Amino acid sequence: MTVKKLTIKEFAALLGVSTATVSRAFSSKGRISAETRRRIITRAKESGYRPNIHARNLSTSASSAITLYYPEFSNEEPDYFIAELMLGINRTLAKYGKILQISPFPLETSEVILDLCRDQILSGAAAGIIIIAGSKTSRELYECAAGCGMPEIVIGHMREVRYNNVWFDNRRGAFLAGRYFRETGRRHPAYLGGVLDRRKQNGFSEGFQLPESEIIKAGSGFGFRDGYRILDIIAAEHPETDCILCANDVMAMGFIAAARERGIRIPQDIAVIGYDDIHPARYYSPALSSVSLQLTRLGEAAALSLERLIGGTTDLPPELIECELIIRESS
């Protein structure tokens, strides 16, 4: 029972005005009398007329959508990092009447999927895009968008990206954690993360004042389960470990859950610090110490910058959102 929708032509005829006038009533820029506009808007509500957005987009070659591209570390668990970010992005976009599209891509992106993403970008569906840095695909998408002049903001650190970048300093964050462990008397550090993040490891080792080679590394993913599983490895191969920095909070929670089952006390036996400081961290038991990235603020900053770019600003200087070590009970 699809209802035939009114076109601007039909609607204009109905009111006895021209299509141009109707268009002006909706576009809020053209010169039109307040009286006429009011009348048109009122009648539009009654008759259910709304400008067709595709026609408008085509005509103005604009769009009211923003696309967020992010690597999907797991297709079983939601990504809480992204969830916090989206909160900030959405909050900001709403102010500009924009809508958020989300486009996760698998970590191991096939050429086919990459092409699909490129198609999306090149087809001009979005007014701008936000890309989460940290995978090869991110970089490819960045270049695709750059190549066709699509406004884009990168969140996180991407090599050679000098502008339009909102970032956090992982080196610094991990440094803070390392220094804290050292200062609180820990001696046998480990780093848990699915992928080697040189900046985190580098900062961690520097904060701990220990060569990188002496810091245990383990892990093969970024989810709860990955953190949970790692305990076995640590217990078997590095039983002396007394403090652990995790690549994210979720892994830390998984790790702690496993430790609890084994009777390993947190923080007495092993001190744990997570990363990102997602909301559940403070309500965890023990309340999770974490490096706060202020993700929601980060999302807001990214959306705001993108909006500027779309508005015509060019080459926004990179914006650093300071990270902060939040000590709770787990360390």
Partner DNA sequence: TTGTAAGCGTTATCAT
Partner DNA sequence: ATGATAACGCTTACAA
In angstroms, what is the minimal distance from the CB of 28 to DNA? Answer: 10
In angstroms, what is the minimal distance from the CB of 179 to a copy of itself? Answer: 27
147 binds DNA (CB under 7 A): no
23 binds DNA (CB under 7 A): yes
- What is the number of other CB atoms lying within 10 angstroms of the CB of residue 88? 20
Site of tokens 């970010």: 85
In angstroms, what is the minimal distance from the CB of 80 to DNA? Answer: 38
Query: Six-digit token pair at 253?
Result: 């929670």
63 binds DNA (CB under 7 A): no
312-320 contact pairs (CB < 8 A, 24+): 315/163, 315/164, 316/163, 316/164, 317/163, 318/161, 318/162, 318/163, 318/164, 318/165, 318/166, 318/167, 319/165, 319/166, 319/167, 320/167, 320/168, 320/169
Residue 301: in which H helix or E strand, if any? helix 295-310
From 292, 299, 300, select the one nearest 322 (Cα to Cα): 292
Measured CA to CA, the distance from residue 291 to residue 328 in angstroms comes to 11
211 binds a copy of itself (CB under 8 A): no
Backbone φ and ψ for 40, nearest 5 degrees, come out as -65, -45
29 binds DNA (CB under 7 A): yes
Choosing from 1, 3, 46, 61, the residue that interacts with DNA (CB under 7 A) is 61
Choosing from 180, 181, 228, 275, the residue that interacts with a copy of itself (CB under 8 A) is 228
Query: Six-digit token pair at 129?
Result: 């895009």
> Which conformational region is residue 149 in: left (phi greater than 0), alpha (psi within -120 to 50 degrees), or beta?
left
Choosing from 38, 91, 198, 217, the residue that interacts with a copy of itself (CB under 8 A) is 91
In angstroms, what is the minimal distance from the CB of 112 to a copy of itself? Answer: 11
From 66, 91, 71, 93, select the one nearest 81 (Cα to Cα): 71
Helix (H, G, I), strand (E, B) or coil at 74: coil
Stretch that binds a copy of itself, among 87-95, 161-169, 189-197, 231-239 (CB under 8 A): 87-95
Stretch that binds a copy of itself, among 79-87, 133-141, 156-164, 208-216 (CB under 8 A): 79-87
Choosing from 1, 2, 3, 26, the residue that interacts with DNA (CB under 7 A) is 26
Residues that bind DNA (CB under 7 A): 5-9, 11, 16-24, 26-27, 29-33, 35-36, 49-52, 55-56, 58-61
Residues that bind a copy of itself (CB under 8 A): 1-3, 5, 48, 50-58, 61, 63-65, 67, 75-80, 83-84, 86-87, 90-91, 97, 99-104, 116, 118-120, 122-125, 147-149, 224, 228, 250, 253-254, 256-257, 260, 278-280, 282-287, 296
